[in-house]
C-alpha cells in the first residue's frame, strides 16, 4: 500500500482520551507533515493515537515502514514529546538539582556515556533477525548519521557534562541525538525548535530536510507556532477543538491562516493589572527613583565566575540592573544564561562565594533565600520539568505566593482571589480546578506564568517563558508582560532565543558568550 500511516474511524477505547470526532487519517509516501493547532486543541492527543499509545476501540493504526527491514513499530517510529525535551523524569529530581551538583552521585554517567550506552543497546536489539549483510548496512547508516549529529549539535562539548547540568537547549540537542541516532523510518517531534538558538535551529532544519531527501525519513512535526513550519513540510494537519480537520498543502494552509490578525489585550485586563494593590512583601517603602537621581540597584554582580569541575560557565562577569529596567538576556545554548539567573533567584549555592548584591544586600550576610524570593517572580524550563504535581491548577498558581514547588500552605482568601485574577488574565480560569497533569503543555506553561506574577513581584525573571504557546497566547503574554512593567518599580529580565518574542518594553540587553577553555 502507499500509506505509511493509516487510521480509519479511530476512536480510543478510553473515553477520556477521545477526540471530538473519529479520526480518519492517511499519510502517504513522500509527504512531510506538520500537525498545527492552538493550545489544548488536541495535537498531543492525536499523536498519542497515531503512535498507538492510546489503543483504538474497534480497529488499530496501520503502518507500512518499507523499505525498512525492521519489523517492530518501536524500531521504526520515534516520538519526542514536549515533556521529553525537558529531560527524563524520575522520583529523585527536584527543581534546584541542576545547581546543587554536590548531590550528584559519584557513579552518575555523563551525557556522552549515556548516549553511547543508548546507541549500543539500540544496536544490539535492532534487526537481530536480519541477514548479516542487511544488518551491517543498517549499522553503517546509523554510524554515518551519528557523525552528522555529533558535528551539528557539537556533542563533544556536551559529552563530559552530567545530564542534570545541561541547559534546556543542550538537553534538547541530547534528546534529538538519541532519537535520530537510531535512524528511524518515522520521526515525530513536538515543538522541536523551542529552546534552540537561531544558528542551531537553522542547522537542524537543514539536517531534517537532508534526512527526508537522502534517507527517506518521514517527519511529523507538532507545532504551536505557525512560523516554525519548515519549507520541507509538504502538508499540514490542522487540529481545532479536538477535531482533526482535512489535510491541506502547506502553501494553502499558510494562505488561509496568514491573514489572522494579532489579538489585543482586553481593556478590562489592562485596567485590572494597572489597578493591582500592593501585596504584603512589596518593597514599596524603598526610595523611588526620580529624574536626576539614579534608581537603586536591584542586583549587582562584580567579577562573578562559576565553575563546575573543569568546566567554566561564567567568567569575570560584572553586571548591574537598576530598578525599572527591562533586560533581554541572550546567548547561544550553554552560554550560562540559566546559571546566571539561578544566582539571582537564590537557587545556586555558588552565589555565596561570589560578590553579588541583591536588593541592596550582599549574598551571605545573613539573609535567607526566602527573603530574596519573596521579591521575585520566576518561570524557567527547570520549573516546568520539576512540576509534575497532580494538584489543581489553581494550587500551582498559589504556590507562587510561598515560592514552593507544590502547595503546602493554603493561601488566605485575598491570595486565592489574586490567583483567580491572574488565571483570568492568562485565559485559564476555566481550568482552575483541573489537575495540572491533565492540562496541555501550553496550559501548563500559562499556569506557571500566572504563578510568577501572582505575588506582584518587584523583579520578574522569565526564562524562555513562551515555550509551547500558540501564536495567540504568545502575543497576549508579550502584552501582559509589557502592561505589568508599566507599573512603578517593576524590573524585568527575560531570556528567549526568538527576537520577536521580546516585549516592546525592553530597555537593555546583555549577551553572554561561552568562555574560552
* Per-residue confidence (pLDDT) for residue 300, from 0 to 100: 94
| Dist. CA 88–CA 232, nearest whole Å | 30
Spatial separation of the C-alpha atoms in residues 355 and 45, rounded to whole Å: 49
Average the pLDDT over each of 68-77, 148-157, 390-399 and give the range with the smallest value.
68-77
- Alpha-carbon distance of 317 to 500, in angstroms, equals 27
The alpha carbon of residue 215 and the mean position of all alpha carbons in its chain are separated, in whole angstroms, by 29
Distance CA 350, CA 366 (A): 15
- Return the domain boundaries, the chain: 3-89+110-257, 267-287+324-348+364-512
Give the phi and the psi of residue 511 in degrees, each rounded to 5. Answer: -115, 125
Q: What pLDDT is recorded for position 304?
A: 93
Q: Please write the tens of the pLDDT for every residue from 401-436.
A: 987 766 656 777 888 899 999 999 999 999 999 999
Per-residue pLDDT, 517: 56
For the chain, the first-to-last Cα distance in angstroms comes to 54
Per the prediction, the chain carries an average pLDDT of 85
Contact 347, 96 (CB under 8 A): yes
Question: According to the model, what pLDDT value does residue 127 have?
Answer: 66
Percentage of the residues of the chain whose pLDDT score is greater than 90: 48
- The set of cell numbers assigned to 378 is 520566576
Does 3-89+110-257 carry CATH code 3.40.50.300?
yes
pLDDT of the residue at 13:
94
Q: How confident is the model at residue 75 (pLDDT cuts 50, 70, 90)?
A: confident
pLDDT cut 70: percent of the chain above it: 89
Model pLDDT, residue 105: 52
pLDDT of 1 reads 54
Same fold, 3-89+110-257 and 267-287+324-348+364-512: yes
How far, in Å, CA of 312 to CA of 315, rounded?
A: 7
Q: Which residues contact 32 (CB under 8 A, 6 or more apart)?
A: 212, 218, 219, 232, 233, 234, 235
pLDDT grade for 303, boundaries at 50, 70 and 90: very high
pLDDT in tens, 210-243: 888 877 889 999 999 888 899 999 999 999 999 9
Q: Please give the CATH number for the structural domain made up of 267-287+324-348+364-512.
A: 3.40.50.300
Per-residue pLDDT averaged across 328-339, rounded? 90
pLDDT at 36 over 50: yes
Residue 249 has pLDDT above 60, yes or no: yes
pLDDT tens, position by position, 377-408: 999 887 887 777 789 999 999 999 987 766 65
Cα gap 88→111, rounded to integer Å:
13
Please, what sign has the CA dihedral across residues 112, 118, 123, 127?
negative
Grid coordinates in use for 420? 483567580
Q: How far is 441 from 433, CA to CA, in rounded Å?
A: 17
Torsion of CA 262, 266, 272, 273, to 10 degrees: 10
Across 329-357, average pLDDT: 87
Confidence of residue 279 (pLDDT cuts 50, 70, 90): very low
More confident residue, 464 or 128: 464
Among 23-37, 80-94, 108-122, 207-221, the range with the most confident prediction by mean pLDDT is: 23-37
Predicted model pTM: 0.85
What's the average model confidence in pLDDT over 96-114? 66
Per-residue pLDDT at 109:
80
Q: Which residues pair with 492 in a beta bridge?
A: 326, 460
Does 162 have pLDDT greater than 90?
Answer: no
Return the CA Rg of the chain: 24
Distance (Å, rounded) from C-alpha 93 to C-alpha 201? 28
What's the rounded mean pLDDT across residues 26-41? 95
Q: Which three cell numbers stand for residue 147?
A: 557523525
pLDDT at 258: 72
- The side-by-side arrangement of strands in the sheet containing 23-28 is 23-28, 3-10, 62-63
Are 179 and 80 in contact by the 8 Å Cβ rule? The answer is: yes
- C-alpha dihedral, 263 to 269 to 270 to 273, nearest 10°: -140
**b/e 351-372 (16+ beta carbons within 10 angstroms → b):** beebebbbbeeebeeeeeeeeb
Q: Which residue matches cell numbers 552518575?
A: 108
Peptide bond into 67 cis (omega under 30): yes
**Nearest CA to 502 among 468, 472, 469, 462?**
462
Amino acid at each position: 500500500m502507499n500509506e505509511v500511516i493509516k487510521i480509519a474511524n479511530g476512536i480510543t477505547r478510553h473515553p477520556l482520551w477521545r477526540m471530538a470526532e473519529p479520526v480518519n487519517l492517511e499519510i502517504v509516501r513522500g509527504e512531510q507533515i506538520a500537525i498545527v493547532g492552538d493550545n489544548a486543541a488536541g495535537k498531543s492527543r492525536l499523536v498519542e493515537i497515531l503512535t498507538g499509545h492510546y489503543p483504538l476501540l474497534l480497529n488499530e493504526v496501520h503502518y507500512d515502514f518499507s523499505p525498512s527491514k525492521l519489523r517492530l513499530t518501536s524500531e521504526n517510529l520515534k516520538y519526542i514529546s514536549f515533556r521529553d525535551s525537558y529531560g527524563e523524569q524520575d522520583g529523585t529530581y527536584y527543581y534546584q538539582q541542576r545547581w546543587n551538583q554536590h548531590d550528584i552521585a559519584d557513579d552518575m554517567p555523563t551525557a556522552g556515556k549515556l548516549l553511547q550506552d543508548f546507541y549500543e543497546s539500540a544496536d544490539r536489539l535492532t534487526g537481530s533477525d536480519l541477514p548479516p549483510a542487511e544488518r551491517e548496512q543498517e549499522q553503517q547508516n546509523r554510524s554515518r548519521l551519528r557523525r552528522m549529529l555529533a558535528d551539528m549539535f557539537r556533542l563533544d562539548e556536551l559529552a563530559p557534562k552530567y545530564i542534570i547540568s545541561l541547559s534546556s537547549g543542550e538537553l534538547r540537542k541530547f534528546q534529538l541525538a538519541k532519537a535520530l541516532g537510531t535512524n528511524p523510518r518515522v520521526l515525530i517531534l513536538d515543538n522541536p525548535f523551542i529552546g534552540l538558538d537561531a544558528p542551531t535551529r537553522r542547522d537542524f532544519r537543514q539536517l531534517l530536510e537532508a534526512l527526508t531527501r537522502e534517507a527517506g525519513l518521514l517527519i511529523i512535526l507538532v507545532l504551536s507556532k505557525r512560523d516554525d513550519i519548515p519549507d520541507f513540510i509538504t502538508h499540514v494537519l490542522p487540529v481545532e477543538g479536538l477535531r482533526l480537520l482535512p489535510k491541506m498543502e502547506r502553501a494553502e494552509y499558510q494562505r488561509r491562516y496568514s491573514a489572522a490578525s494579532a489579538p489585543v489585550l482586553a481593556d478590562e485586563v489592562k485596567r485590572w493589572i494597572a489597578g493591582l494593590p500592593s501585596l504584603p512583601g512589596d518593597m514599596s517603602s524603598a526610595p523611588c527613583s526620580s529624574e536626576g537621581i539614579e534608581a537603586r540597584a536591584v542586583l549587582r554582580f562584580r567579577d562573578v565566575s562559576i565553575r563546575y569541575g573543569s568546566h567554566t560557565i561564567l567568567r569575570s562577569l560584572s553586571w548591574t540592573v537598576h530598578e525599572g529596567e527591562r533586560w533581554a538576556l541572550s546567548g547561544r545554548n550553554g552560554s550560562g544564561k540559566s546559571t546566571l539567573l539561578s544566582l539571582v533567584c537564590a537557587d545556586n549555592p555558588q552565589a555565596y562565594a561570589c560578590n553579588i548584591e541583591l536588593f541592596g544586600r550582599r549574598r551571605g550576610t545573613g539573609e535567607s533565600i526566602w527573603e530574596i524570593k519573596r521579591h521575585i517572580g520566576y518561570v524557567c524550563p527547570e520549573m516546568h520539568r520539576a512540576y509534575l504535581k497532580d494538584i489543581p491548577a489553581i494550587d500551582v498558581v498559589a504556590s507562587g505566593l510561598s515560592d514552593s514547588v507544590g502547595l503546602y500552605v493554603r493561601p488566605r482568601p485575598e491570595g486565592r482571589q489574586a490567583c483567580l485574577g491572574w488565571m483570568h488574565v492568562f485565559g485559564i480560569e476555566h481550568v482552575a480546578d483541573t489537575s495540572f497533569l491533565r492540562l496541555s503543555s501550553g496550559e501548563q506553561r500559562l499556569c506557571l506564568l500566572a504563578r510568577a506574577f501572582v505575588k506582584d513581584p518587584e523583579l520578574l525573571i522569565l526564562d524562555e517563558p513562551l515555550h509551547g504557546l500558540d501564536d495567540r497566547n504568545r502575543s497576549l503574554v508579550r502584552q501582559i508582560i509589557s502592561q505589568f512593567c508599566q507599573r512603578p518599580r517593576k524590573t524585568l529580565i527575560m531570556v528567549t532565543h526568538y527576537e520577536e518574542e521580546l516585549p516592546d518594553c525592553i530597555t537593555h540587553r546583555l549577551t553572554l558568550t561561552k568562555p574560552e577553555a
